[in-house]
């Protein structure tokens, strides 16, 4: 019972001291808050981006790969992507028609990333992506139809002027009427709307809802690029067959491009799971870097807290002498200053957690991430605050507990 009373008394004295030195307490808590904000903010932003990318790749599935003329370029901190000669339309179609292993194969090409779609007097901003694709692209590209249909075989064969539009284009151009069978203009060409994709959201490459998908043969006819490159997407029924399918695809496409034995591939095969793994490795490195930055900031904050606590001991030397004179033991004095240090740290930590979550989520959402509440990092921040309070307050508390009561009473 007496131990519980002594603890309550120490807490009461510590809080009284904190309340009596509000400016010093506020400055000390601010130092801790900045350190915790840096740690929680960076890690919250990374966690939000990581969750978003995980969801994005899981929607694509781990049983697909693409053949293209360049690397993915998923790098942080620069670096050039490998680029090979363009994949021609006839090469892509020969692969699609000649691949024997059971798989869903699509052929697509990027026509424009800054087109304008128009219906009557209403038009979008010039930031619409126009993709030329076949009947399988909706599946391999991770899209779903919310309304309408996909391309028919005749539309693909003859390059009909039909289009599947994204949700955002539908909301911009057709606020009151059904867009199906309406005619829109994309650049200098007119297209009849036959389908609308379900909302997909944004990604690092832009909004998945600002898209117009037209038949791939039509895209080949209207593209302004002198040497367009086509991308081949392959999705296998089971992830266990991915290795064998990738090997067969490599062999077939080498034959199509007439590459002799011993010569390196002049195309890139990118598996969805390898892209996710590569991005995950980059995120892990960023997490380690973020923790290092936050911990360095907290080390500086702990040094500042120790200095301020030493000043507090010096200022309250006479108070310590009085408490010892009326029976306070060194352990009681030590606990009082340790509790005071921990309380100040927790006050700063609470503010730092709130600010860190706000800043981290703002950064994550701004770059297409997801809003998250990082409970693990919040718990770590609370533990760190308590640890910093103990470490930073131990030396000043120990120094206060060893003061001679007679000398302390004579101070000043």
Q: What is the pLDDT along the chain (412 residues), one digit of tens a residue?
A: 444 446 676 667 667 777 667 777 787 788 788 878 877 887 787 777 766 666 555 555 557 888 888 765 444 444 555 677 889 999 999 999 998 888 889 999 999 888 999 998 888 888 899 999 999 998 888 888 999 999 999 999 999 999 999 988 998 999 888 999 999 999 889 999 999 998 876 554 455 788 999 999 999 988 888 888 999 988 887 767 778 888 889 899 999 998 888 888 888 888 766 555 666 667 777 778 777 877 787 777 778 778 877 877 777 777 777 777 777 778 777 887 788 788 888 888 888 888 888 887 887 777 656 677 777 777 877 887 788 777 777 877 887 777 776 666 665 5
CA angle 239, 369, 144 (to 5 degrees): 50
Q: Where are the domains of the chain?
A: 2-56+278-409, 85-266
Residue 371 structure tokens? 């809003």
How far apart, in whole angstroms, are the C-alpha atoms of residue 117 and residue 2? Answer: 78
With helix as H, strand as E and coil as C, how does 391-410 read?
HHHHHHHHHHHCCCHHHHHC
Distances from the Cα of 255 to the Cα of 247, 248, 262, 263, angstroms: 13, 11, 13, 12
CA pseudo-torsion sign 306, 308, 310, 313:
negative
Query: Which residues does 13 contact at the CB level (< 8 Å), separation at least 6?
Result: 336
């Amino acid at each position: 019972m007496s131990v519980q009373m002594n603890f309550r008394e120490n807490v009461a004295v510590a809080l009284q001291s904190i309340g009596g030195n509000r400016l010093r307490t506020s400055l000390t808590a601010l130092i801790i808050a900045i350190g915790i904000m840096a740690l929680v903010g960076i890690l919250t932003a990374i966690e939000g981006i990581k969750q978003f990318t995980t969801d994005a790749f899981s929607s694509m599935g781990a049983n697909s790969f693409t053949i293209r003329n360049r690397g993915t370029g998923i790098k942080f901190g620069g670096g050039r992507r490998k680029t090979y000669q363009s994949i021609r339309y006839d090469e892509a179609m020969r692969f699609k028609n000649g691949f024997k292993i059971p798989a869903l194969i699509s052929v697509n090409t990027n026509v424009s990333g800054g087109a304008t779609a128009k219906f009557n007097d209403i038009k979008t901003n010039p930031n619409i992506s126009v993709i030329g694709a076949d009947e399988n692209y909706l599946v391999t590209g991770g899209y779903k139809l919310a309304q309408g249909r996909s391309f028919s075989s005749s539309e693909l064969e003859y390059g009909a002027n039909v289009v599947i539009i994204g949700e955002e284009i539908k909301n911009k151009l057709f606020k009151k009427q059904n867009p199906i069978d309406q005619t829109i203009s994309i650049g200098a060409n007119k297209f009849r709307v036959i389908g609308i994709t379900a909302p997909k959201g944004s990604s690092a490459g832009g909004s998945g809802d600002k898209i117009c998908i037209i038949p791939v043969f039509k895209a080949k006819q209207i593209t302004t690029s002198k040497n367009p490159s086509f991308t081949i997407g392959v999705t296998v029924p089971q992830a266990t067959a991915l290795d064998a399918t990738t090997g067969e695809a490599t062999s077939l496409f080498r034959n199509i491009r007439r590459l002799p034995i011993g010569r390196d591939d002049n195309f890139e095969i990118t598996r969805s799971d390898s892209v996710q793994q590569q991005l995950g490795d980059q995120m892990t490195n960023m997490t380690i870097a973020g923790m290092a930055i936050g911990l360095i900031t907290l080390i500086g904050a702990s040094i500042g807290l120790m200095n301020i606590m030493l000043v507090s001991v010096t200022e309250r030397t006479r108070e310590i002498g009085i408490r010892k004179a009326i029976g306070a033991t060194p352990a009681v004095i030590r606990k009082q200053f340790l509790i005071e240090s921990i309380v100040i740290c927790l006050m700063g930590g609470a503010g730092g957690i709130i600010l860190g979550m706000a800043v981290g989520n703002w950064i994550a959402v701004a770059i297409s991430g997801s809003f998250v509440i990082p409970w693990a990092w919040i718990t770590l921040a609370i533990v760190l605050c308590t640890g910093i309070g103990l470490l930073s307050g131990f030396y000043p508390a120990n120094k206060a507990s060893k003061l001679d009561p007679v000398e302390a009473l004579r101070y000043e």
